[in-house]
Amino acid sequence: MAEQVGKIEKPFAGRFREAKKLYLVPLVFLNEGAPEEYKEKCHRYWQQVVDQLSNLETKIGKVSHVYHESISLSGEEGLKFVEKLNPNSYQIAKSKCDNGAIFEAIEENDLLQEVMDWERCLLRGFVTEKVASKVAEFYTEAARKRDEFMAKRLVIASITDLSFSVATE
């Protein structure tokens, strides 16, 4: 039997009630042609997300803002894009907004599109290592700028709001 090195105590949830919170939900996508086993796991994942968020909201406060990766529009317009992108995350975002949360854009559209273009280039494959390296470098730089933009947007939001939520990959 392994020796216990230490124990991490579970923090008292109430101490976070008045603090600023960020609930981060990794995106999981479901394609139409996915195997049945994957569909079941995906459904179970999203149900667990709903349950966990509900549990957290009960203990430490409700979501007041929703941000969603790959969405550069706020309000109803942004929610419509989420519905097309990921129906599962849409259901959660819509539910939070129906209960008073505000849907906020987290992306800057030009940065998002640049990263997507470089991703497409990377997926194509290359004949030479030199070109592959250069494209990877451009992708990395664009992704860094995008991440910095989203981080700044969250910092600004956290200064003015008590709690907020993000769904991201």
CA R_g for the chain: 19
Relative to beta strand 65-68, strand 102-104 is parallel
Query: pLDDT band at 162, cuts 50/70/90?
Result: very low
Contact 61, 21 (CB under 8 A): yes
**pLDDT score recorded for residue 12:** 72
Task: Give the pLDDT confidence of 134-150 residue by residue, as tens digits.
Answer: 999 999 999 999 999 99
- Angstrom distance (rounded) from CA 168 to CA 28: 9
Asked if the model's pLDDT at residue 22 lies above 60, the reply is yes
* Nearest-angstrom CA–CA distance, 148 and 116: 16
Task: Evaluate if residue 164 carries a pLDDT over 70.
Answer: no
Among candidate residues 117, 108, 123, the one with its CA nearest the CA of residue 70: 108
**What pLDDT, on the 0 to 100 scale, is given for residue 158?**
78
pLDDT of residue 141: 98
Tell me the C-alpha distance between 149 and 132, whole Å.
26
pLDDT computed for residue 2 by the predictor: 72
Top-confidence residue, 157 or 52:
52
Helix (H) or strand (E) segment spanning residue 67: strand 65-68
Q: pLDDT at residue 169 above 70?
A: no
Q: 110: Cβ–Cβ under 8 A, 6 or more apart, which residues?
A: none
Q: How confident is the model at residue 163 (pLDDT cuts 50, 70, 90)?
A: very low
Confidence (pLDDT) at 168: 47
CA–CA dist 70, 79 (Å, integer): 11
